[in-house]
Amino acid sequence: MTRAAFFDLDKTLIPGSSLYLLARGMYERDFIRVRQIAGFAWTQMRYQLFGKELMNQVDDIQAGALEFVKGRHQDELRALGQEIAEEQIMPRVYADIAHTIDQLKGLGYETWLLTAAPQELAGVIAQGLGMTGALGTVSEVDDAGFYTGRLAGPLLHGEEKKKAVERLASERGFDMAECHAFSDSKNDLPLLESVGQAHAVNPDAELRRIARARGWPLHELRTRRRLLLIGVPSTLAAVGLVGIGAFIGAALARRRSTSA
């Protein structure tokens, strides 16, 4: 049975906001004005300090992004996204998460990036990490390939992530009970609840509370301390930086032993 692992991007794979990093890279290339980057900087500061990821804020950020790409050609933005991802985003990916992605691939899992960030950016990041693919927010383009300033579908956020994964599972034959999902936010609770193994990575306060109540593994990557594994079997409690992969491997071994 085909299995998959799904990863959120902001504050799960990287610290902070990928959309802000994209905006900063666009500002450095004279694509946007100082006023626009200042707004992104303020949003980023609140995001970092308080972990607030309210839906109306995400919508506002996305609307601003759509406005300053309006009239640009898709090929231009793809090339720009490639440059900015290599310069601003890939160096910030948590090493533990990159290692976990590699371990899961070694165990036969497909690995997918799920984010409200633009599909063009999500695809570049997933490719850089050697992942199977990415699902992001899709912007509308006209027949000539220019952005219209509108979305081609819903913002890939919250419940929409769960719906996207369910469609993907139907297409590719995933058994959701065998799948993993990694996220930092309670907003991804629909996705986390839809898989057999949910992981809370750098969780906000509400997701931390839920994860502890349900016995989900917690992975804290925001400090220089060794990776913390909370709520997993005591025999795995001392596992360090490769703890996520070890947890998965041990669970699979127990399952095989039980079925035998």
CA 229 to CA 227: how far, in whole Å?
7
Contact 8, 114 (CB under 8 A): yes
Catalytic residue of the set 8, 184, 188, 204:
8
Contact 230, 218 (CB under 8 A): yes
Name the token pair of 120: 């063009």
CA 23 to CA 69: how far, in whole Å?
10
Respond yes or no: is residue 188 known to be catalytic.
no
Respond yes or no: is residue 143 known to be catalytic.
no
Give catalytic residues, as residue numbers.
Answer: 8, 10
